[in-house]
Structure 1
Amino acid sequence: MKVVILAGGRGTRISEESSLRPKPLVTIGGHPILWHIMKIYCSYGFHDFIVCCGYKGEYIKRYFVRYGLQQAAVKFSLSQLNENGQTKDITDKESTENWKVICANTGLETLTAGRILKIKKYIGEDEEFMITYGDGVADINIAKLISFHRERGKILTISTTRPEGRFGAISIDKKGNVESFKEKARRSQSYVNIGFMVANKKLFDYLGDGNEMLEREPFERLVADGQMAAYKHPGFWSPMDNIHDREYLEKLWSDGALWKIW
């Protein structure tokens, strides 16, 4: 099963970093958040990725071109030079990932539905595939997610969670008296879409001409047809929307990283 990662947006809310590189290449613990996401899927045996590139997409392509050399031990045989002036042999292949990666050019201004529509040609006729965002990590159980999707039999399953509250939850009576106060209560939060989606190929029929955000009209059409299920993830999830989120994730990484399930 292929994993489609939406990685083409401009990342304007983290412009301190995204002005220099695409948001999926912003690092946590010395590795791009894109790498962290791929490692989550890899830990469940999924190694086939389609990265939907857009803004500064050439940086993402360059990252994968160089990745093997950066991670592995490399031996250079200077006595047997090739036409480029040298030969090299990767001697520590176990330290590199067994990934197949397609970096698809999906356009600079393309909306999320259009990005998915543009990678249709890479998906098999009856193939299920997964979709997620290139800026969020979770300790989600991908195997349970896929089982849930197949049990429900819908076109699309999204993963949801109640995020950690950023504000206290207050209950007020009719007279204006505070009945209860819960500081950052997770149970009081609404469920939100966290990505980590599973779909069958019928999803493409709901994407229109691609000039829509996936999360708006296509989602609404799926819901209207009773073709969307929601997997409730009870564990950790965090997006990296801004520089404060990055600092938060960086601290978590140094403390052990709840999403490090590999």
Structure 2
Amino acid sequence: MTVSEDIYRQAILPLDATIQDVICNLDKVAIQIVLVVNESGKLEGTISDGDIRRGLLRGLDLKSPIGSIIHRNPIVVPSEMARETVVKLMVANKIQQIPVVDEENHVLGLHLWDEITTPTVRPNLMVIMAGGKGTRLRPHTENCPKPMLTVSGKPMLEHIIERAKLEGFSQFVLAVHYLGQMIEDYFGHGERMRVRIEYLREQSPLGTAGALGLLNPRPTTPFVVTNGDVLTDIRYGELLDFHTRNNAIATMAVRAHEWQHPFGVVQTKGIDIIGFQEKPVHRSHINAGVYALNPEALSLLESDDHCDMPTLFERLQAQTKRIAAYPIHEPWLDVGRPDDLSRANTDNQHQTANK
């Protein structure tokens, strides 16, 4: 999470600014840092109150140019860096501000300690797909909807909502179908968890995107969608910020997946052998089951029309809309089989013991 675009842009000054300009900016914007950019908009460095004091002690005055007091090569981070990593950088380097830049060093944002350590209250909606039958998890799901299977004594759905609540989300919609009444009886309208919960009731399975066509009223701001069987430490708020910052109509969280071939691979061209690879490792990205969408993406869904999320992304791509991938490295588990459920309980117990 970075400070709002309006605020960090107010803290940007050109190279030909004076010390007086910096002092006025620090007083006006009140984020304890000025970002200095060149004519191309690339970050040249930063200036803090301490840099000004040291310059004045060296004999500079208010009309002096800022070139000699700029802190060159400050610590910067890319927009996709996880919040936990940014916090660790701040602690390790004893700093409270870190600029966010792109590959060419253009300023994209600014992390502030007070902002990044305080969850933002988010009015955005979060939709959780909880209508699946969970056939691969039988017999566990014969009398229990899959998202209600317990991990460390709580339904998976409760873990997801609690995680999102820590990120500042308080408005939830649960899409239910199979044994949906059990979910409604357990959560009600969210009073116990101090959130607001509404329901989309599918008359027939509509897929991981189809139920969104039932949203009424439709969201007016970007919103998050997650499968009800995905347990992850992903920062839902950071996904939403990434989605908005990159002007995407739809963003899919993706996770790196590696698979090692069990045999040595022979590369051929016709009958000629042109190379060998000993048990090569194939790397790809897989769909992590968590998404951010703009409201206009829903225009491609019809009420009661079955549609999976990859199909919705393909429809958006066919209309040349921007669809983005948000790489995650946080712990992630798709609880689709009995051994996944056992692993979820084991992992959660291990994490709790280490806290």
1:220 equivalent to 2:314? Answer yes
1:1-40 equivalence runs, <5 A: 1-40=124-163
CA RMSD of aligned residues (A): 2.8
Identify, as 1 or 2, the structure richer in strand. Answer: 2
Task: Call closer, same or farther: CA 1:130–1:169 in 2, change over 3 Å.
Answer: farther
Per-residue deviation, 1:171: 5.3
Per-residue deviation, 1:177: 9.1
Q: Deviations over 1:101-120 (max 9, x none)?
A: 1122122333333311112x
Amino acid paired to 1:34: L
Aligned equivalents of 1:123, 1:56: Cα separation in 2: 25
1:1-262 equivalence runs, <5 A: 1-65=124-188, 96-119=192-215, 121-124=216-219, 126-163=220-257, 172-174=265-267, 179-181=277-279, 188-224=282-318, 225-256=320-351
Q: Deviations over 1:177-213 (max 9, x none)?
A: 973347xx6xx33211112211111011122454232
Aligned equivalents of 2:153, 2:261: Cα separation in 1: 33
8 A contact 2:222–2:240 mirrored in 1:
no
Per-residue deviation, 1:53: 0.7
Q: Determine which structure has greater relative contact order: mean sequence separation of CA pairs < 8 Å that are 6+ residues apart, divided by chain length.
A: 1
8 A contact 2:255–2:288 mirrored in 1:
yes
Aligned equivalents of 1:159, 1:216: Cα separation in 2: 12
Q: Which residue of the partner structure matches residue 84 of structure 1?
A: none
8 A contact 2:172–2:195 mirrored in 1:
yes
Per-residue deviation, 1:254: 1.0
Task: Call closer, same or farther: CA 1:210–1:171 in 2, change over 3 Å.
Answer: farther
Task: Call closer, same or farther: CA 1:173–1:116 in 2, change over 3 Å.
Answer: same
TM-score, normalisation: structure 2? 0.58
Aligned equivalents of 1:107, 1:3: Cα separation in 2: 21
Per-residue deviation, 1:22: 0.5
Instruction: From the CA coordinates, give the structure whose radius of gyration is larger.
Output: 2
Amino acid paired to 1:38: I
Identity fraction in percent: 24
Q: How many residues align?
A: 226
SS in 2 for 1:42: helix
SS in 1 for 2:329: coil
8 A contact 2:252–2:289 mirrored in 1:
yes
8 A contact 2:188–2:197 mirrored in 1:
no
Amino acid paired to 2:350: D
Amino acid paired to 1:198: A
Per-residue deviation, 1:169: 6.2
Amino acid paired to 2:147: P
8 A contact 1:21–1:56 mirrored in 2:
yes
Q: Which residue of the partner structure matches residue 118 of structure 2?
A: none
Q: Which runs of 5+ in 2 are unaligned?
A: 1-123, 268-272
Aligned equivalents of 2:190, 2:152: Cα separation in 1: 16
Amino acid paired to 1:180: E
Aligned equivalents of 2:160, 2:264: Cα separation in 1: 37
8 A contact 2:144–2:179 mirrored in 1:
yes
SS in 2 for 1:158: strand
Aligned equivalents of 1:246, 1:15: Cα separation in 2: 11
Task: Call closer, same or farther: CA 1:218–1:65 in 2, change over 3 Å.
Answer: closer
Per-residue deviation, 1:37: 1.0
Task: Call closer, same or farther: CA 1:20–1:189 in 2, change over 3 Å.
Answer: farther
Amino acid paired to 1:115: A
SS in 2 for 1:196: strand
Q: Which runs of 5+ in 1 are unaligned?
A: 69-95
Per-residue deviation, 1:227: 2.6
Q: Deviations over 1:59-79 (max 9, x none)?
A: 0011114986xxxxxxxxxxx
Q: Deviations over 1:35-90 (max 9, x none)?
A: 1111121111101110001010000011114986xxxxxxxxxxxxxxxxxxxxxx
Task: Call closer, same or farther: CA 1:150–1:109 in 2, change over 3 Å.
Answer: closer
Per-residue deviation, 1:176: 11
Aligned equivalents of 1:106, 1:140: Cα separation in 2: 27
Aligned equivalents of 1:203, 1:111: Cα separation in 2: 16
SS in 1 for 2:168: coil
